[in-house]
Chains A and B, each alone.
Chain A
Amino acid sequence: AQSVTQLGSHVSVSEGALVLLRCNYSSSVPPYLFWYVQYPNQGLQLLLKYTSAATLVKGINGFEAEFKKSETSFHLTKPSAHMSDAAEYFCAVTQSGAGSYQLTFGKGTKLSVIP
């Protein structure tokens, strides 16, 4: 079984400040990990993915995440927040090589950016 825990359902940062959204996973096999973003009334957009290559993964819109196996973490960061980053962010896990795509999502973290 696999699971994802996102610490903090709401995070507020000032514009220009560091964004840090936390994600811890549980998986019995090597995982594939993802971060998705959801804007109001829209679907999910892929920010970045980890599939057992480099542990530091760079995504779109200046986001990156680091896979730390020893901590079972995959935290999302961005050096400087923009107003346009305000959205809900979801961490997700699936089993590598499962042959079928079934994502397990965290509960999401709503990011607010204060001007």
Chain B
Amino acid sequence: KAGVTQTPRYLIKTRGQQVTLSCSPISGHRSVSWYQQTPGQGLQFLFEYFSETQRNKGNFPGRFSGRQFSNSRSEMNVSTLELGDSALYLCASSLASDSPLHFGNGTRLTVT
């Protein structure tokens, strides 16, 4: 069974631009979560989607948004990029509530 797939693996953007990251969950998984990983703040929860509905959202500004499609694939968007948005963005999927998260290899975003 294929794992969680995130594209692209690497991105370089300039301040003020926007970016869209993509995540394909494990087949059959309906929950998709996003996390931001930085050296300073560690791993922080962004949001979680289940059946196209956002169920939970972390403490991030409105520039960070996401969505989930009917096939469970998910995208997250960051608008008006700032230098501090440079991070590894990890997507994880799970079969159901209380099932373990399976993580992708992440998208490394660099903002210059």
Contact = CB atoms under 8 A, between A and B. Distances in A.
Interface residues on B, range: 20 to 34
Interface stretch (A18-26, A36-44, A70-78, A79-87): A36-44
Contact of A43 (B33, B48, B90, B99): B90
B57 to A, nearest CB: 9
B103 to A, nearest CB: 4
Interface in B22-57: 31, 33, 35, 42-45, 48, 50, 55-56
B33 A102 contact: yes
Contacts of A92: 43
A96 B101 CA distance: 14
B45 A102 contact: yes
A51 B98 CA distance: 9
Contacts of A96: 98
B32 to A, nearest CB: 10
B97 A43 contact: no
A46 interface: yes
Given A43-B4, A100-B55, A100-B56, A90 B101 contact: no
Given A43-B4, A90-B43, A108-B42, A102 B56 contact: yes
Contacts of A34: 100
A102 B90 contact: no
A72 B56 CA distance: 26
Interface string B37-81: 000001111001010000110100000000000000000000000
Most chain B beta-carbon neighbours within 10 Å: one of A36, A103, A108 = A103
Contact of B100 (A49, A106, A107): A49
Interface of B: 4, 6, 31, 33, 35, 42-45, 48, 50, 55-56, 58, 90, 92, 94, 97-106
**8 A-B pairs with least C-beta separation:** A43-B103, A105-B43, A44-B103, A100-B55, A43-B105, A100-B56, A107-B42, A46-B100
Interface of A: 32, 34, 36, 41-46, 49, 51, 90, 92, 96-108
